[in-house]
Chain A
Amino acid sequence: MKPPASASWKAPLKFRMPTAENLVPIRLDIEVDGQRYKDSFTWNPYDPDSEVVMFAKRTVKDLKLAPGFIPQIVQSIQSQLADFRSYEGQDMYAGDKIVPIKLDLRVNHTVIRDQFLWDLNNFESDPEEFSRTLCKDLGIEDPEVGPAIAFAIREQLYEIAIQNVTSARENRINKKGRRGAEHFPLSKAGGAALDLMKLFNFRSSVVRKRKEWDYYKPILDLLSNEDVDALEAKEERSGR
């Protein structure tokens, strides 16, 4: 196989989420007057800004939170959206990237742990679709698990995309500095991907080795109420 450098160098693309829909994962963790509100969801960045306010009001009304939450929520969402948009105009370096995505979530009574590979170049990929299928296959009954999984995938994809942007920026600067243009993909972001590239050379087969099977299997646990309470208490303590 040719040195990964020349094989994987591609022209930089404009930044976007490497999924079919360019949605932003938003995470909220706000505390006002002793009330703690944690939430995570996906947002469509093309919605007008008035939507943010409406959403905040709606959420506060639905969850019967203190009205002081509204401006905080609005601000948090808007700042995350602004971050997303600030990356938007910039170049993203997308090589032949297949990245491992890890899931490790607890949603109500369900704990799920999983690991799988995701193709960053596939802009038609749909975390929602994946999550839906996963839940159906695993027979998860709790409807809240699906969105949580989709969100987790998106978040990780988002982070990787951001890293690609920064790496592209660095590489551009480096390019001016030295003539070694082949060193591009050796940034730290590409570390994990490179290992996988070695896997897929013509010497080894595409079928996964047996010892790795356990890593890539989804693990699903259903907790009882006591476990849930215990875990929640632990999380709160660690959070403080």
Chain B
Amino acid sequence: MAGKSPVKAAASSDTTSTPIPNPNQFKPPQISTKLTTPAAVKSEIPSTPTRSSRPSSIDADVIHVPSYSRWFSWGKIDSCELRFLPEFFDGRYPSKSPILYMYYRNSIIKQFRENPSRKIFFTDARRTLLGDVGSVRRVFDFLELWGLINYSASSTHLKDAALTSKHSSTCGRFCGACRSLCTFACFVHDKGNFRVGLSNADFSRVEITNEAKADWLEKETSLLLEAIIHYGDDWKKVAQHVGGRTDKDCIPHFIKLPFGEEYLGHPCSDKAEPGFETNKRMRLTPLADASNPIMAQAAFLSALAGVKVAEAATLAALTTLSEVDDTRASKVGRGSLLRNTRQEADISSDGDTNLNALERAYADLDSLLEKEEQDIERAINGITEVQMKEIQDRILHFEELYLQMEKERQKFEGMKNLLFIYQLNLSFGKSYAMKTEERVMEKVKTDFIIIVCILFYLPLQAMANREFLEFKEIACQCF
């Protein structure tokens, strides 16, 4: 690219153009609405390593940059750049990267600073830059707005630039429209902030008045009410009458007026009605703040519907509820009594206020129901107790049987042991002087004994099994 900026050294020494280091280089543009307030002046020398700051042998003057552009830095991207030119940072176009943005920005600024006394035109800039002219134009406009180029070229141009674009951030007055610091003017557009598709003409100017923050005085309020009585719907005239307030200020203020002002209102004025109704609405819904969302809903709906409708609705609801209770109560078997009470309730309800009678009937019904429930509970308890006792007896019986079995088993164990001892005796006794046949004979004898014992053992086993099966059956029955 063409030569280095000769005024680089001068620029860095200029107090108004010191940048604020900002690590926001590649963050997505989720910026809060706080604009960059002038922070403490940091004496950082902005430079990229490739740049060499030539001593200003040329008679170039100091580059003036407005204080609200203090954030500018050659190597970095500030948050307001992210905000104003999101197209380079949101990754939608693969080639529109922050690097490309910095290339545009730095080349435009360099080009301007080569000849700072002459205003640089967009066409000059875009001729030297690669890329589509739309993006270049946006970067150019941004830089011009923030005074990074063409700032000292002509002061009138600056005013135009500032006034015909978005608000810039300096310590200024508080602007009611954008709720932040504004200097020259604030422009609003219902679609939101300045974007590619919108032009200057789409924005409407909002006057920043110092009274935006001031409260309404009593005098003003009374003037307002007077005006409303006289002019009713015509807010322009009302605003005129009040003086010093726009109609857009008057309307919200009027709506916010406390309910007690109602007596001043004209019933036939259209604007008064919704105002009053909202007042009443706000008064009659004390439960609207209740944490219980259902209550809040109910309160809101009842307020919307109106008093008579709400009454009728509650009455209908209560009668149906009582009918439902009636059917439930009759199932338990105390229907007649309840029906009487219901008839009583009906009769009494026909007399004075329905709500009270129904409530009384309800109380009676409730107590009866409770008694029923208690009876049922007691009966169930008795039944379960009896059952439990039965099971307990059975368990005891089985324990006895089991004991018996154990005894017999032990007896049998003893017999087995005896047999074993006999066997041993026989085999040891006969081992020396026995011949094979005799040994076999002895074996047969011992086998015979074993078989007899087993046979004796088997029925015992069977008996034990039978008992055990019985026990199992009964246990199953219980449970």
Task: Find B196's partner among A21, A43, A48 (CB 8 Å cutoff).
Answer: A48
Contact B123 A62 (CB under 8 A): yes
Partner of A150, one of B111, B121, B130: B130
Q: Which of A20, A55, A59 contacts B134 (CB 8 A)?
A: A55
Answer whether residue A142 sits at the interface, using C-beta atoms and an 8 A cutoff. yes
Judge whether B128 is part of the interface by a CB distance below 8 angstroms: yes
Residues of B within 8 Å of A142, CB to CB, are: 2
The complex places the Cα of A144 from the Cα of B199 at a distance, in Å, of 29
A204 in the interface (beta carbon within 8 A): no
Contact (A50, B197) CB under 8 Å given A62-B122, A143-B107? yes
Judge whether A59 and B127 touch: CB under 8 Å: no
Contact B199 A50 (CB under 8 A): yes
**Is A44 positioned at the interface, with any CB of B under 8 Å from its CB?**
yes
A132–B196 contact, CB under 8 A? no
- The one of A20, A131, A141 in contact with B130, judged by C-beta atoms closer than 8 angstroms, is A131
| Residues of chain B in range 114-139 having any CB-CB distance to chain A below 8 Å | 121-124, 126-135, 137
A residues 41-67 touching B (CB-CB < 8 Å) = 41-44, 47-48, 50-51, 53-55, 58-59, 62-63
Q: Are A55 and B137 in contact (CB under 8 A)?
A: yes
> Which of B94, B122, B196 lies in contact with A47, CB distance below 8 A?
B196
For the complex, is A146 an interface residue (Cβ under 8 Å from B)?
A: yes
Closest to A19 in B: B95
Per-residue 0/1 for A152-184: is the Cβ within 8 Å of any B Cβ (1 yes, 0 no)? 000000000000000000000000000000000
Q: Are B127 and A147 in contact (CB under 8 A)?
A: yes
Judged by a CB distance under 8 angstroms, whether A128 is at the interface is yes
A147 to B1, CA, bound (A): 12
Q: Which chain A residues border B95 with CB–CB below 8 Å?
A: 20-21, 126, 128
The answer to whether A189 has its CB under 8 Å from any CB of chain B is: no
CA A143 – CA B3 in complex, angstroms? 10
Q: A220 interface residue, CB < 8 Å from B?
A: no
CB proximity of B122 to chain A, nearest CB, Å: 5
Within the complex, what minimum Cβ distance (angstroms) separates B120 from chain A?
9
Q: Given A20-B95, A48-B196, A143-B1, are A55 and B133 also a contact pair (CB < 8 Å)?
A: yes
Residue numbers in A under 8 Å from B432 (CB-CB): none
CB neighbours of A74 from chain B (8 A):
none
A23: nearest residue on chain B (CB-CB)?
B132
Give CA–CA (A142, B133) in the complex, Å: 19
In the complex, what's the smallest C-beta–C-beta distance from A129 to chain B, in angstroms? 8
Interface assignment of B93: CB less than 8 Å from any CB of chain A: yes
B137 to A58, Cβ gap below 8 A? yes
Instruction: Collect the chain A residues with CB atoms within 8 Å of residue B196's CB.
Output: 47-48, 51
Nearest CB on B from A23, distance (A): 5
**Distance in Å from the Cβ of A127 to the closest Cβ of chain B?**
8
Contact A20 B94 (CB under 8 A): yes
**Max count, chain A CB within 10 A of own CB: residue among B107, B133, B135:** B133
Contacts of A146 in B (CB 8 A): 128-130
A146 to B96, CA, bound (A): 18
Q: Given the complex of chains A and B, what is the CA–CA distance between A126 and B325 in angstroms?
A: 80
CA distance A58 to B107 in the complex (A): 19
Q: A26 to chain B: closest CB distance in Å? A: 8
CA separation between A20 and B95, bound complex, in Å? Answer: 7
* A44-B132 contact given A54-B199, A58-B122, CB 8 Å threshold: yes
* A51 x B134 contact (CB < 8 A): yes
In the complex, residue of chain B having the shortest beta-carbon distance to the beta carbon of A136: B1
Give the CA-CA distance A43 to B132 in the complex, in Å. 5
A70, chain B: closest CB distance, angstroms? 14
CB-nearest residue of chain B to A107: B127
Which residues on the B side are within 8 Å of A50 (C-beta)? Answer: 197-199
Given A47-B196, A48-B196, A54-B137, are A147 and B130 neighbors across the interface (CB < 8 Å)?
yes
State A141–B130 Cα separation when bound (angstroms): 14
Complex interface: chain B residues within 8 A of A48 (CB): 196-197
Inter-chain contacts of A62 with B (CB < 8 A): 121-124
Which residues of chain B have C-beta atoms less than 8 A from A126's C-beta?
95
Nearest Cβ in chain A — how far from B110, in angstroms? Answer: 10
Please report the C-alpha to C-alpha distance between residue A23 and residue B198 in the assembled complex, in whole angstroms: 21
Question: Which one of A21, A63, A131 contacts B123 once the chains associate, using CB atoms below 8 Å?
Answer: A63
Q: Contacts A42-B133, A58-B137 given; indicate if A144 touches B127 (C-beta within 8 A).
A: yes
Q: Is the beta-carbon distance between B134 and A21 smaller than 8 angstroms?
A: no
Decide if B128 touches A41 in the complex (CB within 8 Å).
no
Shortest Cβ gap from B99 to chain A (Å): 11
Name the contact of A147 in the complex, choosing from B2, B111, B129, B197 (C-beta under 8 A). Answer: B129
**Nearest chain A residue, comparing its CB with the CB of B92:** A46
Complex Cα spacing A43 to B134, Å: 7
A178 to B339, CA, bound (A): 94
**Are B126 and A41 in contact, with the CB atoms below 8 A?**
yes
| Chain A minimum-CB-distance residue to B124 | A62
B-side contacts of A43, CB under 8 Å: 132-134
Contacts of B111 in A (CB 8 A): 143
* Inter-subunit contact A21/B133 (CB<8 Å): no
The 9 closest A-B pairs by CB, nearest first: A143-B128, A62-B121, A128-B130, A62-B123, A44-B132, A48-B197, A47-B134, A42-B132, A44-B134
| Contacts A/B (CB < 8 Å), 27 sampled | A21-B96, A23-B131, A41-B132, A42-B131, A42-B132, A42-B133, A47-B196, A48-B197, A50-B197, A50-B199, A51-B134, A51-B137, A51-B197, A55-B134, A59-B122, A126-B95, A128-B95, A128-B131, A132-B130, A143-B1, A143-B107, A143-B128, A143-B129, A146-B129, A147-B129, A147-B131, A150-B130
A-side residues, CB < 8 A to B, are 20-21, 23, 41-44, 47-48, 50-51, 53-55, 58-59, 62-63, 126, 128, 131-132, 141-144, 146-147, 150
- Supply 14 further A-B pairs (C-beta < 8 A) apart from A44-B134, A47-B132, A51-B134: A21-B96, A21-B132, A42-B132, A43-B133, A44-B135, A47-B134, A51-B196, A55-B133, A58-B123, A128-B95, A143-B1, A143-B2, A143-B107, A146-B128
